[in-house]
Each structure stands twice: as C-alpha cells, then as structure tokens.
A and B are shown apart, each in its own frame.
Chain A
Amino acid sequence: MPSLLKRRFMLTLFAMVALLLTACTQTATPPAPPAEIVRETVVVEVTAEPQVVETVITQPATPGNLVIYSGRSEALVGPLINQFAAASGVDVQIRYGSTSEMAATLLEEGSNSPADIFFAQDPGGLGAVAKAGLFAPLPAELVSQVPTRFRSPEDLWIGISGRARVVTYNTDAINPEELPADIFDFTDPVWSGRIGWAPTNGSLHAMITAMRQVWGDEKTREWLEGIQANNPVVYDRNTTIVTGVAAGEVDIGFTNHYYLYRFLAEQGEGFKARNHFLTGSGPGSLIMVAGAGRLASSPNEANALRFIEFMLSPVAQQYFASQTAEYPVVEGVVGPPGLPPLEELESAALDIDMADLDDLQGTIQLMQDVGVLP
C-alpha cells in the first residue's frame, strides 16, 4: 500500500511542522507577545487541514458515534467540534440550546438521556446536572490536565476554556486610567446613571456568587445596594450592554470580556467600546469556565472521553485563544493575543473555586431582597 504509506509520511511531516510551530510560539514569545504574530501562527495551525488534528487523535476502525448537548453556541464551538468529527471519524450529533435549557432537558431525561456529553457555558449548569447525579467521574489522566479550581471536586466535570468578567467602557466618555481597579468602587455616587448591567444574566449571577464567596453576604448586599442606588441602566444581556456602551447610552457596563471582540470584528476599530480588566483585587475579575461532563448513562463512553481529551489538546485550547478570545485552561498554552495573562487577573480571585459557584438560588434570593430582580 504505497499510497497509504505516503499518506502516513505526509501526516507525520505535517505533525512535525505543527509541533514545530507550537514550539516556536511557546518558546520564542515573551510574556506579553505581540498580538499579530501569535494570531497568524495559530490560525494556520488550527484551521488549515484536519490532518493536523489527527496527530492528537487516533482513528479506530469503527469510530462509532457521539451525542453532544451543547449550551455553547454553534457560532463559537461548531468549527472545533467539526474538526474533532473529521479527524476522529466519529459521527458527532449535536443539540444546541442555552445552557439552562440543556441542563433542564438533561434533568428531565434523567438516565434515559441519549446524550453522551454536556458542554456547558458556565459552572452553574454543570453543577446542576452534577448535583442530580447524572455525571460519571472522569479519569484522572484527563482531569489532572486542568487546575483544581477549574473543575468539579469529584471530577464530575472539567473546565475547557475561561472567560473573564470585565468593565466595558465608552472610549469617548472614559479615560481608562481613571477607572477603579476594584469593582466595589463603582458604588461611588460619581457613577450615578452611568452604569449598565444585566441582572438576569447568568454570568453576572456567577460573579455575584463569587462575591458572596470572597466578600461574604453582607458586603455583597452592600455592593448590590450601592449599584442599585446609582440608578444603573438595566439591559437584558451582555451583547446589548456592549451595544449600549458603544452608543453612549451608558459610560460603562459589567460584561464578559469576549463579546467586545465580536463587535470589533464586524464594526471595525472605530467601535467606541473597550474592555477594562479589573486587575486590582476581588471578584470583579472572576474567571468563569465553560466546561463539559460525561453523562453516566452515556452509551458511547470511549468517544465521550476522546472528545474531552481533544478539547484539552493544544490544538483545541489554541482555537479558543485565537478564535473566540477565550482563555485556555491547560497550562502552557498561549493565551488570547493582546489580553492580560490569566495569572495577572487571578491574583486576587485565585481562591474562587468554580464548584463553589453553584449556590445560584442564594444569589437570586439576595438580588430579589435588594430589589434588583423581580
């Protein structure tokens, strides 16, 4: 079989080139790498040919299939899952929805669920499914790749990529150097009428849950009351906050970091909003992970584990950094270009364990008591 051999050879060659490229980016780049160079290298590596991915995955004779319930949007993770399917030969079927819808569906389905993997946008959704006893523990060689705080203490789910909470500001109205480093300082009356937030949004709930962990309920209530006293403009979700900030409806907004890059991509550098990372201290710079778990009822265990293995591979981790501007969770993978490194953001919030963020009911109750939520 000369053609097969040739293909093997080509593959190996490809793999070596890819490895070299990765090695180059990792060794040759200083801590704050020039954005453009990293982006270039990564794009070539991830999207060029699926063969590159095959170096990570071995393709068995009968690849079988895999069912994923994804609370992450197809626009973000679809291309990556397709690469996994192409490289592994597995027949991957995906149901997309919001994380809360997918979690509720899994809870209704119970052990009859056709799903193998739940891929969720936030730890809250994973925690709800884990609490119902629907996840099977993941093998140690997988979970050990990710820092403890980014996974379930019982190894029931694992973080795959991270998003940072930020303050998005209008570039006409705000000089970023004057912005506070601690999110608590936004309770100052000078911010009256200038803040935008989305009290019904899951990421904000996660941040407030983190506040309760770090600050305690009393200070968190004080923060909520202080923000509420500043007459914040209420938005329905993060994207409308970013739109509102850029349009000048409000001066600053509490959002997740990666939405801004979508707007910049479509509307150009003239888009009047930028991110301020709260590097000072406290839960304002919370890193939230999106992650996945394997259902205990999963009919395709081997493929489910291969999928998670792939998601933790350098190829996939680089995809998040370069394509969705998210933070890789596996150590040693270069972060999103042009953004402050994870360690810098986490100096204060390092103690926050994702698994502790599941007391959403308590957070909602507190927000209702303060009158922030209906």
Chain B
Amino acid sequence: MLVVAGLLLPTAYLLIRAFETSEAALQTFMRPRTWVIIGNTTGLALAVTTVSGLIAVPIAWLTVRSDLPWRRFWAVVTPLPLVIPSYVGAYLYISALGPRGALQQLLEGPFGITRLPSIYGFTGALFALTLMCYPYMLLSVRAALMRMDPSLEEASRSLGHNATTTFWRVVLPALRPALGAGGLLVALYTLRDFGAVAIMRFDTFTRVIYLQYSSFDRSQAAFFALLLIGLTLVLVAFEAQTRGVARYDQASGAVARPPTIIALGHWRWPAFAFCALIVSLSLVLPLTILFYWLVRGLLAGEQMGNLGSAVWNSLLASGGGAVVTVLAALPLAVLVVRRPGRLTALLERMAYSAFALPGIAVALALVFFGISYARGLYQTFAMLLFAYAILFLPQAFGALRTSLLQIHPGLEESARSLGYRPPQVFLRVTAPLMRPGLIAGASLVFLTAMKELPATLLLAPLGFRSLATEIWSAVSEAFFARAAAPALLIVLLSSVPMALLSMRERRGMS
C-alpha cells in the first residue's frame, strides 16, 4: 500500500499544479499542431518498440539457447547501451553519422562525398532510441527464456514440428508476457525521452512539456504531463489486452534443468555477424567517438577533474536503487499475479503511470511532497533511493511479473500444505524460482539509475556528484573531453556487475 501511495505522488502533484492552469494551456491543447505532435509521439513509440523487438528477440534467443560463438561475451555487452545517457548517445550519433560527421569525413577523401543524407527527424530518432532502448526487451526476454521449461519444446518436437516451427508456435507465444513487459518499457521510455528527440530534431510531447518548464510555467507543464499519463494508461491497457487471460506457468519446479542448446549449423557465423553489427552500432561507435574526444582534449591540454567520489556515488546510488526498487516491486508483483482482479489490475496500471513522465516532473513532485511532509528526509540519500524506486519501479515490476507468471501456484500451495508458513514458502520456493526475474529487474534498474539525471540533480544530498551529473555538467558547456572520461567510465563500471550477474545466471542454470 505504501508503495502504491508513493507511486501516486507524481500524479497527485501534477493534478494540484494543473488545477492552477490558465486558459492558455487549453488553447495550446486545442491547436491542431498539438495533435500532430501526439501522433508523432505515438508513432515513434510504436516504431521504436517494434524494431527493438526485432533486435532483442534474436539476441536473447542466441545468447540463451544457441551455440553462438562468444555467447557469454555477447550476453554481457548487449545490455550495456542502456547506460549511455540519451542526450549523449544522440549527440555521438550525429557526430558520427550526421550530414557532415565523422563518416562523411572518412568518405570525402576516397569517394568525394561532401554530404550524407540527413539523419535528423523520425529516422534519426528511431535509430538512436532503438539502439539505446532495445536492452529493455532483451533483458526481460532473456529472463523468460531462461526460466522456460525445455519439456514444452521437447513435446512440440516429439509431435513432429521442426525447430523453426517450434520457435514460432511454442517459444514465441510463451514469451508474450516478457515481450509485453519489455515492449512497454521501450514504448514508455520513448514517450518520456527528451535528449535524443531534441538532438534529432523530432517534435514529441516531452518537448512541449520541457518548453513550459523552461519558461517557468509549472502549471501548463503539469497539464501536458497529465495528458502523457493518459497516453501511458492507454498503452498499458493495450498491453494487458494483448496478454489476455492466458496462463504461462508450468507445474514442475524445473529450475535445475538447463535449456537445451540448439546448434546453429551454418547459421553460426551470420548470427555472430548480427550480434557484432548491433554491438558495433550501439556500443563501439559511441565509445570510439568518446575516446576520440578524450584523446583530442588531452592533447589540447584539457584539465580533467577527479572522478573518485562520482564513481563511488554512482555505484552506491544505483546499486541501492536497484535493491530498494526490487524490494518495493516484489509485493506488488505477487499481488497482481496471485490475486488477479479489478483492484489489482488498477494497481498494475498505477505502477506504470509515472514511468512515461519526464524525470523533471517526478523530481518536482518529490520536492513538493518532500519539503512539506518529510522535512527530515528531504535531499538525503534515502530520498534519492525513494525517487529511484518511484521512477524505476515499472522496470523491476515487469521482470518480476514475468517470472512469477511462469511459476505454477501449485508449487507454492504444496509447500504450504507441507507446513511451511507463507514467508517461508516465498523464501524457499518462490524466490529461488524467480531468480532470473529478480536479476533482470535489478540489472535494469541499476543500468538506468546510472544515467538518471533530473532526480539526482534535485533530490540528492547537497554536493552529491555522480558520473551522470559530471557528464551533464561538462557536455552542456561543450567541455567534451571532460565529459568523455565519466561517460567511458559509466559504461566500463556497468559492465562489471553485468558480467558478475551473467556468471551467476550461468551457475544458476547448470
């Protein structure tokens, strides 16, 4: 209940603020241009989600179920693009692929190309956002694949289906909750993103909201943010509709059974090339440019700040945020999955309501409530973790729900009939079975908290610096070399926990 109350804070705040709004907001709302923007935004969200799925499902399957070369390496690096802040990522893409960017410079000598086709607009936004968001789907689909009972596929195979038909008829439908949860995160992230669409010059709804904040009109901003919540609820309902009432659980507690590995045969190297292509676009390309910035700046004698405390703070806040968020999402997920009903469906929607909001709206909501009702906690580390929990709860919730859906309630019931009390049942039966979901949820929160900005800026203790704030501070004043060092560090540091988690995953499977 406390969790839900926390989640409702942003909406409550926006209602209070929007109530003060003037005629002007309504006028803006009635302009046809506003509706074009709503259309733009929805279209972009759907396109990014679809393309992310086309990238994420193959990679998830290849890294869990196939004999892809360097399988573990790909498993560690493919989720990493999630930590690159979108305003930096998009900036890097235009530096590299813009009409007169690095690629054009390379081509000018040998081929005489003086200008590349424009990357700006819908294409650029789709490109940048997809490469930064697909890990949302990747992580949830991977978790689902790992928990999937191989006997389902064996049954399909024994009925005469070949591997391909089995994938389409058995595996993919069973992945539906994971695809839904991951896809929803991608779509909602696209709705709330500001940095990438701004740099790619594509008008979306968040640009309208930011414009209001930058002209110091909080009421109009709140009015539009509420509309965004409306759009979110429609998407969430749509996802719930497609998921339907189907059940995805399995009776056995077959954690011990590792999934069968399918030999790719002559597809091994094309699959390898696919992973390499995605990673080079989403990770190698941005990192190369960052490295170039760093070297160029160092050669020009740029001063580098000390990043020690920023590194420590980032790890502490993101790690803490991941733990707190998963713990907060857990009861909600259990309730929604085990006690389905109208009330819990409502809870589920509420869980997502704040996720599509631009971070600044959520941060201001917490400023508003924090200063009035939680003075002692205001701008403390605890407050920051609380903000992360509200911001990122849907990410953890989606992953937890997916893995809970795969666990047959009978397992818990039989444990209870054997004399275990509910908390014991949870700790000894449910939690171990949920492990891939818990890990996926925690990693998602960790990776996105690493780059979180507005809440960190407004709610962290005074003088708190994280890698994300260092990058932001430097980039906004064109200190590119000084931004490159923390940006490279953020990727490097995030890969360490990802590698550790992936090793645990493997141990869990074998």
Contacts and interface: CB of A to CB of B under 8 A. Distances in A.
Interface of A: 67, 73-76, 93-98, 100-101, 103-105, 107-110, 112-114, 124-125, 128, 200, 202, 205, 234-237, 239-240, 242-243, 247-249, 259, 262-263, 265-268, 360-361, 363-365, 368, 371, 373-374
A249 B100 contact: yes
B457 A101 contact: yes
B24 A365 contact: yes
B478 A239 contact: yes
Contacts of A205: 214-215
B473 A361 contact: no
Contact of B217 (A105, A237, A361): A361
A266 B475 CA distance: 13
Contact of A235 (B201, B360, B372, B454): B201
B458 A97 contact: yes
A226 B119 CA distance: 26
Contacts of B213: 100-101, 104
Given A74-B473, A104-B360, A360-B215, A110 B98 contact: no
Interface stretch (B170-178, B296-304, B327-335, B394-402): B296-304
B367 A108 contact: yes
A234 B94 CA distance: 14
B365 to A, nearest CB: 9
A205 B217 CA distance: 14
B145 to A, nearest CB: 38
B344 interface: no
B477 A374 contact: no
- Helix, strand, loop or mixed for chain A's interface? helix
B474 interface: yes
7 contacts: A73-B477, A104-B360, A107-B218, A124-B216, A205-B214, A360-B215, A363-B215
Nearest to A235: B201
B364 A266 contact: no
B313 interface: no
Interface string B351-382: 00000000010011001100110010011000
B469 interface: yes
Contacts, number: 137
Contact of B360 (A101, A240, A242): A101
Nearest to B375: A112
Contacts of A368: 28, 31, 33
Nearest to A242: B478
Contacts of B207: 200, 374
A103 B37 CA distance: 27
Given A100-B216, A247-B100, A266-B481, 20 more contacts: A73-B477, A75-B477, A101-B363, A104-B213, A104-B216, A104-B364, A108-B218, A110-B371, A125-B216, A235-B201, A236-B201, A239-B476, A239-B477, A239-B478, A248-B100, A249-B99, A262-B477, A266-B302, A364-B211, A364-B215
A104 B300 contact: no
The range of chain B's interface size is 35 or more
B211 A373 contact: yes
B214 A202 contact: yes
B153 interface: no
- Helix, strand, loop or mixed for chain B's interface? helix
A374 B33 contact: yes
Contacts of A75: 473-474, 477, 479, 482
A69 to B, nearest CB: 9
A301 B99 CA distance: 53
B454 to A, nearest CB: 7
A362 to B, nearest CB: 10
A214 to B, nearest CB: 20
Interface centre among A107, A108, A114 (most CB of B within 10 A): A108
Nearest to A128: B216
B198 interface: yes
Nearest to A103: B216
A349 B216 CA distance: 25
B473 A93 contact: no
Interface of B: 24, 28, 31, 33-34, 37, 91, 94-95, 98-101, 198-199, 201, 203, 207-208, 210-211, 213-218, 296-297, 300, 302, 360, 363-364, 367-368, 371-372, 375, 378-379, 454, 457-458, 462-463, 469, 473-482
Contacts of A97: 454, 457-458
Contacts of A112: 371-372, 375
B282 to A, nearest CB: 21
Contacts of A371: 33
A67 B462 contact: yes
Contacts of B217: 361
A267 B296 contact: yes
B199 A240 contact: yes
Contacts of B218: 104, 107-108
A73 B476 contact: yes
B210 A259 contact: no
Nearest to A246: B100
A243 B458 contact: no
A128 B480 CA distance: 31
Contact of B462 (A94, A100, A108, A125): A94
B300 A114 contact: no
Contacts of A240: 91, 94, 199
Interface centre among B201, B360, B363, B476 (most CB of A within 10 A): B476
A124 B216 CA distance: 8
Nearest to A264: B300
Given A361-B24, A364-B211, A94 B216 contact: no
Q: Which 10 A-B pairs have the closest CB atoms?
A: A128-B216, A93-B462, A236-B198, A247-B100, A360-B215, A262-B478, A97-B457, A239-B478, A108-B367, A374-B203
A73 B473 contact: yes
A351 B462 CA distance: 39
Given A108-B364, A200-B210, A360-B216, A101 B458 contact: yes
Contact of B98 (A103, A249, A364): A249
B371 A200 contact: no
Nearest to A261: B478
A174 B5 CA distance: 59
Nearest to B99: A249
Given A259-B478, A267-B296, A361-B217, A95 B24 contact: no
A268 B476 contact: no
